[in-house]
Structure 1
């Protein structure tokens, strides 16, 4: 149900501390949708943010699940202007093929085949105050997905630098310069950049594909933009090409994904 997250964010913004904001946000979501139920648990000095998804069969490759955890972790960190270090992330599914990519998203211990989906962090962060203004919140939500899918703490890997260049461009249309232009922006030859990306186990086409996937998921979840707009914004020649690519990425069509998610 697109538009719920921004509405929730504004709804909880008058609360002062992170724990109150999260509690109210969770209550709001649990009330307005059955697609995902959430719970914040304090276990000693460990805070456990739990998620139960009603229809995991609609997310066979677990991209929505990962994206939803990213949203809440990034948003929580943004509110208090502190990157909250996670101590553990638990998943109910078996270890996937893209588990190494997931380690970039969540730089902590990963556990699979667990009874509940959750991420854990120290409770001291719950007591920190929100330091953002409502004007900053409006800007944050407007500039999503850049602020939500940028991987924090990913260092100076060339993959991270390329993601930053492509995602943080001002245009609504995904910025995909030629490989030679990209190498020039990074102050090296195309041959050197290609070699360094190979060392990191990736390539420019693979990075662009990952960004298109992440942006597509964000557009479908966080906005009311239609398939035609999304396919154009992501650089596809026609909606059918985008639909085929999205189904390859996630296992479901964009329309089915949009209908079944919060």
Structure 2
């Protein structure tokens, strides 16, 4: 529930392979309703739905499951066959081993590995993908394999931490939200770690369920997920529901009461998850504002009131702080991607 937004850095990174292949990306952006003008603003963001649509368009345009970012194309259908192979495993560990060996059959495929050491298991993407200077593909591989693993066992697998074999980028804060765990940069390999007991978890999915998953892949696997298992996710979900039902956004003491904890405990738990109540409130309102402006139907004054701003000027100041532009300018740029509206 709720609309997330994606930093423009990830939009530019996703386009890189198609641009390298000489594909005109303007029509792809237009079909995803993303204004090309936004790509020049480092603080710009797009909705989760827009980004999902763009990934689907890139998938079709490049005819490559790696979106033109890998050392060699991955023909469409490769991921599906890998999933079928993985389903034959007796548990998650065997499934992941099958999947790693499947991609190992391709000389130019990504070098993947799953290894357990004591109580910790780790999935890694080894080596540098030279046609992926933004590390978009390697990060996507970690995200997809985590979410595919969670799907196979029917339960979200909490990540202990995620590591990246490069320095922290300017949009480093996005990684905490994307992976839902502590993140480290400058590591030897890119990957993510989880409790090794999950490798013994039995698979609960079958080929009929796989068909539904594949109809939504790969874009759906890349979209950010709220599982409701962390305090941050529960608060985001509560706030998003309030915006949808057009009720007042709850304050921290009300949220604490709903979670049956004290306000001080709530603050400590949010700090442990790398955020705060105000940061969550700002991000929920920012994402809802961007979604509302992109859709283009709700008057800006009405949108400001729905988001809990008592004055239009306060909304304008907040939106400029979030994105570097005004609500009106953002709407104009967004609607420029689909002028018929």
Alignment partner of 1:126 is 2:199: yes
Alignment partner of 1:99 is 2:153: no
- For the residue of structure 1 that corresponds to 2:112, the secondary structure is strand
Residue in 2 aligned with 1:77?
150
- For the residue of structure 2 that corresponds to 1:115, the secondary structure is coil
Q: What is the Cα deviation at residue 236 of structure 1? A: 7.4
**Does the Cα contact within 8 Å between 2:87 and 2:205 map onto a contact in 1?**
no
Larger Rg: 2
Give aligned pairs, total: 196
1:83/1:33 Cα in 2 relative to 1: closer, same or farther (>3 Å)?
farther
Residue in 2 aligned with 1:178?
296
- Distance in 1 separating the partners of 2:135 and 2:104: 21
Alignment partner of 1:44 is 2:118: yes
Q: What is the Cα deviation at residue 54 of structure 1? A: 4.5
TM-score w.r.t. structure 1 length?
0.63
- Distance in 2 separating the partners of 1:150 and 1:60: 21
Residue in 1 aligned with 2:303?
190
Deviations 1:74-121 (A, max 9, x none): 100111111111011111100011111111111111111111112000
Deviations 1:62-83 (A, max 9, x none): 2222111111001001111111
Question: In structure 2, which of residues 90, 94, 97 is the aligned counterpart of residue 23 of structure 1?
Answer: 97
TM-score w.r.t. structure 2 length?
0.50
5+ unaligned residues in a row in structure 2: which ranges?
Answer: 1-73, 227-232, 241-282, 310-314
Larger RCO, structures 1/2 (Cα 8 Å, 6+ apart): 1
- Distance in 2 separating the partners of 1:162 and 1:128: 38
- For the residue of structure 2 that corresponds to 1:96, the secondary structure is coil
5+ unaligned residues in a row in structure 1: which ranges?
Answer: 168-175, 210-234, 238-262
1:178/1:137 Cα in 2 relative to 1: closer, same or farther (>3 Å)?
same
Deviations 1:168-198 (A, max 9, x none): xxxxxxxx632528x9xxxx93114494984
Q: What is the Cα deviation at residue 35 of structure 1? A: 3.4
In the TM superposition, 1:88-237 aligns within 5 A as 88-153=161-226, 154=233, 155-156=236-237, 177-178=295-296, 180=298, 189-191=302-304, 192-193=306-307, 195=315, 198=319, 201=322
- Distance in 2 separating the partners of 1:46 and 1:143: 31
Which contiguous aligned blocks of 4+ residues in structure 1 show a shift greater than 6 angstroms? 159-164
